[in-house]
Amino acid sequence: MAASQTEPAPIEPQTVSKKRVLHVGCGAPNPKKLHMIFRAPAWQEVRLDIDPQVRPDLMSTVVDMKDVAADQSFDALWSSHNIEHLYDHEVLPAFAEFRRILRPDGFALITCPDLQAVAGLIAEGRLEEGVYEAPSGPVTPLDMIYGFRPSIAAGNDFMGHRTGFTTERLGRLLVETGFAEVRMIKGESYDLWALALMPEIDAPRLMTALARTGLKFQQGD
């Protein structure tokens, strides 16, 4: 008589926890709005916006996210053309919130218009000239200063710009907020990029990953 055999118990798939990136000022759902470094399977996007029309995961102003985001609850923060929509007095509180929600080995990646570069265009008499093409249409220096005018004209007041940044100002304010280190570069579309690092981040590894996407921040000493 053949010995009876017991079916082996199925092996449960190992759960791999994803890193979480808080996408502030996310706008309407669109995975392409994420920077490429966050499009890998290892990352989970959590969308935050003040506008209920865009159906965010979390509805809040970035100036005070305490009701929706706990301390040290995210591995990264992504802010693309969002901080210029703040009033000037809201900038430091917002940056403090960015730092608060990040884990000790986290980072914030931020991009916004470069007022110094825009001022150069205006000095050349190009205030209303379309200088680059966005998905929503041509963008002029006037749009970069005050907000994308077609969207505002269509009733989206959230698109108005209320403050602005140069390389020096953005980097200095992030440092004042308490980030361990801030690195800055200028983009190719009259934009600035800031990388704000928490104290336990593996900076060389992050620099290498960002360089593969075309963002070549300088290595620290």
pLDDT of residue 220: 55
- Share of residues in the chain with pLDDT > 90 (%): 86
pLDDT of residue 134: 84
Domain annotation covers residue 176: yes
Domain annotation covers residue 147: no
Residue 146: both structure tokens together: 């005050």
pLDDT of residue 219: 67
**Which residue segment(s) compose the domain that 97 sits in?**
19-113+165-212
Residue 121: both structure tokens together: 């265009």
pLDDT of residue 139: 94
Domain annotation covers residue 199: yes
Domain annotation covers residue 87: yes
Flag the least confident range among 6-20, 100-114, 147-161.
6-20
Domain annotation covers residue 91: yes
Q: What are phi and psi of 179, to 5 degrees?
A: -65, 145
Whether residue 65 is predicted with pLDDT greater than 80 in this model: the reply is yes
Polymer length in residues for the chain: 221
Q: What is the pTM of this model?
A: 0.90
* Amino acid in position 83: I
Contact 185, 171 (CB under 8 A): no
Give the Cα separation of 88 and 101 in Å (integer).
21
Give the Cα separation of 192 and 113 in Å (integer).
6
Number of domains the chain is built from: 1
Whether residue 13 is predicted with pLDDT greater than 80 in this model: the reply is no
**Strands of the chain, DSSP E:** 19-24, 43-49, 58-59, 74-80, 102-113, 132-134, 137-139, 181-186, 191-197
CATH number, position 82: 3.40.50.150
Residue 122: both structure tokens together: 């205006």
Residue 69: both structure tokens together: 């985001």
Give the Cα separation of 104 and 108 in Å (integer).
12
pLDDT of residue 145: 96
Integer distance in angstroms from the first to the last C-alpha of the chain? 74
pLDDT of residue 98: 98
Q: What angle do CA 33, 36, 41 make, to 5 degrees?
A: 100
User: Which sign does the torsion angle of CA 166, 84, 107, 117 carry?
Assistant: negative
β-pair partners for 183: 195
